Amino acid sequence: MTLKNIRRILTFSLILFMPFAGLQSVADETVADKKIAVVNGVSIPSSEFDTEMDQFKRRMESQGQPVDPAQLEKLKAQVLNNLVNMELLYQQSQKKNILVKEEQVSSQIDELKKRYKSEPEYENALKEMKLTQAELSERIKKGIAIQELMEKEVISLITISEADAKTFYDANPQYFKQPESVHASHILIKVDTNADESTKTEAKKKITDIQTKVKNGEDFAELAKAFSEGPSGPKGGDLGFFNRGQMVKPFEDVAFALKKDEVSGIVETQFGYHLIKMIKKKQEGTTAFSEVKSRISDFLKKQKTQDKVGAYIETLKKTATIETFI
């Protein structure tokens, strides 16, 4: 299990809308001389900043994206800004008398632990993230408080009407174009392209025998379960819908040329010999509004929430006293 599990627990709906957001722990007065920022008199320790930076750098590197010097400076600014934002929001949650019960925190931690095979694995993940159990609990507590603040002050006030969704749908037809696609199943007898003739002949005989069974009226899906050597065999050979360009060319050409319920002749590809059955074809077109209405509404709400959260934070900053030291 990766460290993403802990990060996922720490990441709430608000944080999803803020690039590189992190939740900060309570500033420790003993490290006040090593502060990275002060928000309304509350210090954010440099150790918090360093931990966040380390996590983001490791995450990017694990994705094959090493951080270059130019990116590093930008990342520093983003991390610092997000730490300041989180402190502002947490302070506001306290002004609004939002209280987080210990049971809420414990529940989050219990759910997190379930994602690990053992307690030592969980504890090792905390160590790698340079977090103690107390710090994790504090972060979760703050995250819940901030989430509840945002639900009350921002998210609950946002509505997306059907008219809003329809306007977006009509203005962005390119997002709803559907290419021609085919729903097909197949039976595969594997043989390597570099196999000798006797191996190919044996494989060809197997697929030919199966073809005879199909022609004699035996159920294609059951034959696939019994004989297909591809990963879709247990599912009756079902490949679901696929577009052009998703399958190898010889397979694609035959699949798209078939009629509904028609079974192909033997098709040879780099994987071996196939029999293909076309189940259904969808012509190129546009997805109906009714099919995407809820997804559009969700997208627009997230977009609007991001804007409103940003504006909410800017309002808090206007009356805040903020000092930064990088």
CATH number, domain with residue 149? 1.10.4030.10
Q: How far is CA 22 from CA 6, 56, 156, 200, 321, in A?
A: 12, 10, 23, 58, 21
Residues 214 and 303 reside in one and the same domain? no
Confidence of residue 144 (pLDDT cuts 50, 70, 90): very high
For residue 165, pLDDT over 50 is answered with yes
Q: Whole-number mean pLDDT of the chain?
A: 88
Q: How far is CA 3 from CA 10, 123, 126, 145, 228, in A?
A: 11, 11, 8, 23, 39
Residues 6+ apart with CB under 8 A from 48: 24, 25, 27, 36, 83
Residue 200's pLDDT is 95
The answer as to whether 54 is a domain residue is: yes
Highest mean pLDDT among 43-52, 128-137, 228-237: 228-237
Number of domains in the chain: 2
3-state secondary structure of 276: strand
Q: What φ, ψ does residue 250 adopt, rounded to 5°?
A: -60, -40
Residues 138 and 14 reside in one and the same domain? yes
Domain that holds residue 223: 180-283
Give 284-297 pLDDT, tens digit per residue: 999 999 999 999 99
Residues 31 and 84 reside in one and the same domain? yes
Residue 55's pLDDT is 79
For residue 21, pLDDT over 80 is answered with no
Residues 273 and 304 reside in one and the same domain? no
The answer as to whether 239 is a domain residue is: yes
Q: How far is CA 139 from CA 49, 104, 305, in A?
A: 14, 12, 22
The answer as to whether 244 is a domain residue is: yes
For residue 87, pLDDT over 80 is answered with yes
* 161, 25 contact by CB (below 8 A): no
For residue 27, pLDDT over 60 is answered with no
Q: Is the dihedral of CA 271, 275, 280, 283 positive or negative?
A: positive
Residues 6+ apart with CB under 8 A from 95: none
How far apart, in whole angstroms, are the C-alpha atoms of residue 224 and residue 12? 44
The encoded tokens of residue 229 equal 């050597």
The encoded tokens of residue 117 equal 């095979």
Q: What percent of the chain has pLDDT over 70?
A: 90
Residues 6+ apart with CB under 8 A from 203: 189, 190, 191, 195, 272, 273
Residues 273 and 310 reside in one and the same domain? no
Confidence of residue 193 (pLDDT cuts 50, 70, 90): confident
At residue 83's C-alpha, the angle toward residues 62 and 91, to 5°, is 145
Residues 62 and 129 reside in one and the same domain? yes
Mean pLDDT across 57-75: 81
The answer as to whether 237 is a domain residue is: yes
The answer as to whether 171 is a domain residue is: no
Residue 74's pLDDT is 87
Residues 213 and 240 reside in one and the same domain? yes
- Of 53-57, 106-110, 166-170, 254-258, least confident by mean pLDDT is 53-57
Radius of gyration of the chain (CA): 28
Residue 4's pLDDT is 42
For residue 19, pLDDT over 80 is answered with no
The answer as to whether 215 is a domain residue is: yes
- Kindly report whether the global pTM for this prediction surpasses the value 0.75: no
Q: Which CATH number does the domain housing residue 221 bear? A: 3.10.50.40
Residues 88 and 11 reside in one and the same domain? yes
Residue 147's pLDDT is 95
Confidence of residue 72 (pLDDT cuts 50, 70, 90): confident
Residues 261 and 150 reside in one and the same domain? no
Residues 202 and 311 reside in one and the same domain? no
Residues 86 and 153 reside in one and the same domain? yes
Residues 203 and 156 reside in one and the same domain? no
The encoded tokens of residue 27 equal 């500033």
